[in-house]
Each structure stands twice: as structure tokens, then as C-alpha cells.
Structure 1
Amino acid sequence: MSFKNFKVVEKLIFGRGSFNQLDEVLAAQRKSADDFVVFVVDDVHRGKPLEGRIPLKAQDLLLWVNVDDEPTTEQVDGLTAEVQAFNGKLPVSVIGLGGGSTMDLAKAVSLMLTNPGGSAMYQGWDLIKNPAVHHVGIPTVSGTGAEASRTAVLCGPERKLGLNSDYTVFDQIIMDSELIDGVPTDQWFYTGMDCYIHCVESLEGTFLNEFARAYAEKAMDLCREVYLGDHPEKDDKLMMASFMGGMSIAYSQVGACHAVSYGLSYVLGYHHGIGNCIAFDVLDEFYPEGVAEFRQMLKKHNITLPKNICKDLPDDTIAAMVKVTKSMGPLWANVYGEGWQEKVTDEMLTALFRRI
């Protein structure tokens, strides 16, 4: 029997104020005076105090990115072209500063600088051939687990699917919980629920093992302290929950909610966090206890989810969502095990989407 040999983040700094060590981290990568770094930064921070704290040198490139919509392969290819046009040689590091979408863009750019062709070619599992440029993840919103994961999730010409590879994993992450203070409540909730749902899907899945269970159970406990208990150290706890939730699926997999959410996001444009929440709210038959607790969290934080968004959509729109959702084989295997194809039918998925 062969066991999965997966890569984890090699270096990690955790602690309030640890963002200040970024310059020191990058100094270790800069070997000559003209070595440059690329900063991929969520444009929500433009003109804010964090912009002035970015350790930008004269020769570096700062790319502001807008993630109001889900990141796309086209966006990645455009950013990669900007870096290539900026300097004839490779950067010594690519920094992703923002939420999961921004970190995924940074991961994808670091990969596409060393792999030929467009990023859509690499949507799938282990298609990346060459190691990425050194890359660093710094979350300013917590929940997605992007800082810990081996994927960069992108909407491509055919579907929403990640660049899943060992080369995708960050070389370094900096987890400074001061950076997530002040995130708007809706975004804080939806992104944090991505972590909670990771844990439910991991713990209820057929791929479950003690490695995944250990991380998922602790991450779920932390989510409960944050979203049901309003713990005074909630930012620190959510940041660790996000990381551990990401680690829990490294040796297992997500499940039905993420599969359905990918369909919602790709066709209707919902962001990953809210897409997960909308999907999870109708998945009682899959995760009854998790959905019930999730609804307690919704109520506590006065979050109102969109309802009946798919009820009256044209059949071809529903069919497009079904196609994307049905293509998530590893996720459905985690739900049903072998033979999942017999249970995940167009009819079943169509009925599920019509309830959303």
C-alpha cells in the first residue's frame, strides 16, 4: 500500500506584529542588489496604513489586485505577463498579502513564472512540472486555509478548479492576527465558515484518518469559540483555525458543500465563502449536525443568506452548475467512497440546486 506523501509549508511565523519581520524574511532571498520581489496585494488595503508598512524596495514590483470577483486564469496570466514585462529575470519571491483569493493569485503567479503556457492548462491535480518561484502567504482575512493548502483555486474557461500540486504550497507564511482586526462582519463570517465547513466535510468524509481528525477537531473547537462564544482572543483563534482547517484536508478532502459551491461560484459568480454558506444551508441530508450548528452561528451574528436564488433559473443555467459540480470527483469520493458516480446523478444535483 502506498501512502500520500504531501508537502507542508516549510517555514511559519505566528504572532501579533510578526508582519514586521517580512523585510527580514525577504532579505534572505535577496542575493544581489538588483534582486526584486513581487508583492500581490488586495486593493482593499490601498491607501490604508498597511500599504505604508509593505517593505517595498526601489527595484520591487507592487501589484494591486481586485478580488471582488473570484480569481480567474485570465487574471493570473495577465499578472504573470506584467511581472515578465517588468524585469527580464525571475523575482526572488512573490508575496500574497490579503485573503484566500489574493493568496491563491500569488501562488498561481509564482507557478506560472516557471511553467510554460497559460494557467488553465494546469487546472487539475499534479499537472505542474517545474518548481515555483519562492512565495510567501500573509493572510489579512482568515478562514479559507489558503495559507496551508496545496491549491490555488481559479475560475477557468471550462470550470472552477485549483492548480493542485506540491509546488503550489507556500515556502513561508506569516500569521499576524493584528492584520485581520476590523474585517467587515459579513466577510469575517463567510470566510470563517469556509474553515468550519472544511472541518465538517473532513470529519464526515470517507477519507478520514487520525491526521485529518486531529487538525479538524481542534479547528472546529476554535471556530465554536469564535462564532458561538465570542472569545476575546478570537482573531488569534480564527487564524489558527484557518491554518488547521487547511491542514485537515491536506490528508483528507472537502466534500459535498465545496462541490456545490464550485458550481455556484463558476456560473453565478458567488465568492467562495458566501457560496459555501448558501450551499451548506441546504445540505441537511449530508451534514445534519453541522448544518444545525451553522444555523446557530448565522442567528448569533445576524447573518441573512440569499434564498431561492436557483429556484427559477433557466434549465441550461442549472445544467451548467451541475456539470461543474459533478466534475469534482475526489470531493464526491470523500462523500460516498467508491462508486460515487452511481449516486451523483444529474437528477440528484438538479434537485439540490433547485432548493438553493
Structure 2
Amino acid sequence: MEEMKDLELEKSAKKTKGPYRNFPMVPRVVFGQGSFDQLGEILLPHRNSNDAPVIYLVDDVFKNSDLIDRIPVLFQDRIVLISADKEPKTGQVDDLVSTIKEDFTELPSAIVGIGGGTLLDLAKAVAIMLNNEGSSANYQGWDLVHNQAVYHVGIPTISGTGAEVSRTTVLLGPEKKLGINSDFTPFDQVILDPDLLHGVPKDQWFYTGMDCFIHCVESLNGTYLNAFSQSYGEKALELCEEVFLGDISDSDSRDKLMMASWHGGMSIAYSQVGVAHAMSYGLSYLLGTRHGIGNCLVFQHLEEFYPEGVAKFNEMMEKHDIQLPKGICANLTDEQFNTMIKVSLGMVPLWENALGKNWAKYITPEKLRSIYEKI
């Protein structure tokens, strides 16, 4: 009990003022049902030549769908279908970049990501690495990118991750799961078409939506909180509650969840996420657990840190009859637990946001293991 009182004092301590970060945002966005069909018109001014293609990275769930036929392919443009079953990897980014450079005489005019967080993160990473040397693993971290990315467009087909608006692209690397977090990462253009959310499986809809809900809870309860992040986070949280606890039409639900994702992503532009995300990175790195469900698996056990948020989360799970997998960590070895713990403890900004600058006094390897063992 005494430790938790000390922790609350740590979190309430005022931070030193300035210097303030001059963060970039997505400069152009179009929202509305059917807005996907404006893509060709949007891309046209950015086409450099007939030999500088537009590369479309598209979730392979759309193979043989009418969405593929609606993509405005011209000249040497290429559609690359990619499975979103696994988290995006640095090696995958490097292979895509290598293939593009080998197959075309000019750099692409644009990279377009069409899909959920995996495809959007891949598109951002590929756009960056086309203009930066070496492996994408070398750029996992904060502000390591030096050259402008190729023009890139994000078109989400599921909502919640905030990848369409964030300044990071989260990748699994050979040693860690960490984003390329830079001023060059955000998309130059985003198209938000709620019609593209039709047909998303219910469990995936829930887990991805909970990513938004959870990172808003973490942002709003964090030490980095400020009026900027609070204004976006509170609106995103309100929209999530309307979608997952309210009684609204499917059409309104798609519109509101798309905007919750946008506002949620904006809320952490000037803030950070927290305990659930830090620990879910360990799950993803070791077990390949998808980001959305990974956050849910951890968050259910975080009443100590986010009591109101966890209570609301449980209410949402009950309303939508969601049953989380059990025993994910039941048979892990000491070495495997230590790997997850090491990855999680490496997420220093997340822990600092969650618990303050002296977070390491409260979060020990033993503490993390005790939570992982419940999953």
C-alpha cells in the first residue's frame, strides 16, 4: 500500500517545462463513405514519370475482391498482396525495399498501404527505407531517420491502431519489437473511408478497437498527459464507449470507430502509451501474438494500474461475448519469460509515462513475471 502511495506522488510530480517537441501531423486527410475512389485523383500530381510506379501494399484478405479492381493502377504500378496474419518484421521491410529497387529503374512515386495496422506500418517503413541506407532494424528507436521518406498514403480497412496518424511504424526486429519513430514516418495523405470496414470479423474488430481504448486509458492516466493529448484522448475514449457499449447503427459504429482511431492516434502524438503496451511487446516478440489481442491479454490483469479502465474493458467483453484465450504463457521456460521481460523493460518511455521517472522502483522482473504467468 505504501508503495502505491509513493507511486501516485511520483505520477503527480510536475515535469520540467520545455523545450517542446515540434511534431509533424498528417498534412492531408479525406473522410467519407466512398472516398477511396478519389485515390487516383489524389495520386496523379505526385506521379514523377511513367517509370516511377505507385506500389500498393494491400492486405491479402482482399485478393479477388472488388477493392482490387478499384485500385487506380497505371503504367508500371504494382499491387503487392501481403498477409497480415503476423506482425510486420524488419526483414520483411528490407526484402520489399530490395525487390522494388531491383525491379524498377526509378524510385516509386508513392507507396500506398491498404489494410490494418500491419499494412500501414509496412507502408510507412518501406517509404522510409527507400530513401535511407541499410537495414530497417538500424532505425528502430526515436529520431534515427535522416532522409525524407517517399510520398506515402495510408488507407485503413480496420480501425483502432491509430497507425494511420502516428509518427511510428512498429516492427519486430532481430533483437526487439520497436517502432521507427521519426518526423518522416507519418503519412503524407490518409483516406478514411468507413465503407472499407464492412465485413471485418467480430473478434478482430473487437481486439483492434480495444487497442484504441487501451492506449487512450494509458495516455489519460500517464505522467506525460497534457491538454493536447487529453483533448484527443477523451474524445477517442468517448467514441469507443459509444461503439462498444452504446446502441448505435452499424453505419454509425464504423464512422465513430474510424474517428476514435484517428483521435486516439493523435492523443499519443504528444504523449505515450503505458503498461499494457510495454508488456504486449514482450508477447509479440516471443510468441508472435498480434498487437490488439496482446494488449487485451495483458490489460485484463492490470487493475492495479488502471482500475476504472479494466472495469470498463470487462463490461465491453461481456457485452460482445468475447472470450480471451487462456494459458498462453503456461508452458514457457525461465529463459522465455526472461526474454519477454527484457523486451518489455526496454520500453523505457512507456514505463516512464505510466509510472514516472522512478518507474524501476516499482516494476521489477519478478513483478512482470507474476503478470505474464496469469496470461
TM normalised by structure 2 equals 0.93
1:153 aligns with 2:163: no
**Aligned-partner SS, 1:145:** coil
1:180 pairs with 2:197: yes
Are 1:340 and 2:359 an aligned pair? yes
Rounded to whole Å, the distance in 1 between the matches of 2:317 and 2:102 is 46
Q: Which residue of 1 aligns with 2:127?
A: 110
Aligned to 2:292: 273
- Counterpart CA distance in 1 for 2:49 and 2:138 is 34
Q: Does 1:255 align with 2:278?
A: no
Measure the CA separation in 1 of the matches of 2:284 and 2:308. 25
- Do structure 1's residue 196 and structure 2's residue 213 form an aligned pair? yes
1:287 to 306, 321, 327: 306
Gaps of 5+ in 2: 1-17
Larger displacement relative to structure 2 (238-247 or 312-321): 312-321
1:309 Cα deviation after fit = 1.9
Q: CA deviation at 1:315?
A: 1.0
Per-residue deviation at 1:343? Answer: 2.0
Size of the aligned set, in residue pairs, is 356
Indicate yes or no: 2:102 matched with 1:121: no
User: What letter matches 1:138 in structure 2?
Assistant: I
| Partners of 2:50 and 2:75 within 8 A in 1 | no
Q: Hey, what's the Cα distance between the residues in 2 that align with 1:31 and 1:316?
A: 51
1:303 to 310, 322, 327: 322
Structure-2 residue corresponding to 1:23: 40
Distance in 2, matches of 1:217 and 1:177, equals 22
CA distance in 2, matches of 1:47, 1:85: 27
User: Could you tell me how far apart the structure 1 residues matched to 2:138 and 2:51 are?
Assistant: 32
Shift of 1:311: 3.4
Give the superposition deviation at 1:36.
1.4
Name the CA shift for 1:312/1:32 in 2 (closer, same or farther; >3 Å).
closer
Give per-residue Cα distances to partners, 1:152-203, cap 9 Å, x unaligned: 1000000110000010010000000000111000000000100001110000
Aligned-residue offset at 1:58:
3.0
Report deviation, 1:81: 1.1
Secondary structure of the residue aligned to 2:46 is coil
Match of 1:130 among 147, 171, 181: 147
Q: State the 1:14 CA deviation.
A: 0.5
Provide the rounded CA distance (Å) in 2 between the counterparts of 1:213 and 1:339: 23
Q: Which moved more, 1:342-351 or 1:220-229?
A: 342-351
Amino acid at match of 1:330: P
The question of 1:227 aligning with 2:244 is answered yes
Cα distance in 2 between the residues matched to 1:43 and 1:23:
21
CA distance in 2, matches of 1:105, 1:134: 14
Do structure 1's residue 48 and structure 2's residue 65 form an aligned pair? yes
Moved segments of 4+, more than 6 Å: none
Q: Distance in 2 between matches of 1:234 and 1:14?
A: 15
Aligned to 1:138, the other structure's residue is in SS state strand
Q: 32, 35, 50: which is aligned to 1:33? A: 50
What is the aligned-residue RMSD (CA, Å)?
A: 0.9
Paired residue type of 1:108? A
Give the C-alpha shift of residue 354 in structure 1.
Answer: 1.1
Cα distance in structure 2, aligned partners of 1:230 and 1:118? 47
Amino acid corresponding to residue 308 of structure 1 in structure 2: G
Q: For structure 1, which segment, 148-157 or 224-233, has the greater mean C-alpha deviation from structure 2 after superposition?
A: 224-233
Report the counterpart of residue 327 of structure 1 in structure 2. Answer: 346
Mapped to 2, the partners of 1:196 and 1:231 lie a distance apart of 18
Q: CA deviation at 1:349?
A: 1.0
Corresponding position of 2:19? 2
Distance 2:307 2:142 in 1: 30
Is there any run of 5+ residues in structure 1 with no aligned partner, and where?
Answer: none
CA distance in 2, matches of 1:260, 1:209: 24
Q: Does 1:239 align with 2:258?
A: yes
Distance in 1 between residues matched to 2:281 and 2:130, nearest whole Å: 26
| Corresponding position: 1:316 with 2:364 | no
Question: Any idea what SS the aligned residue of 1:166 has?
Answer: coil
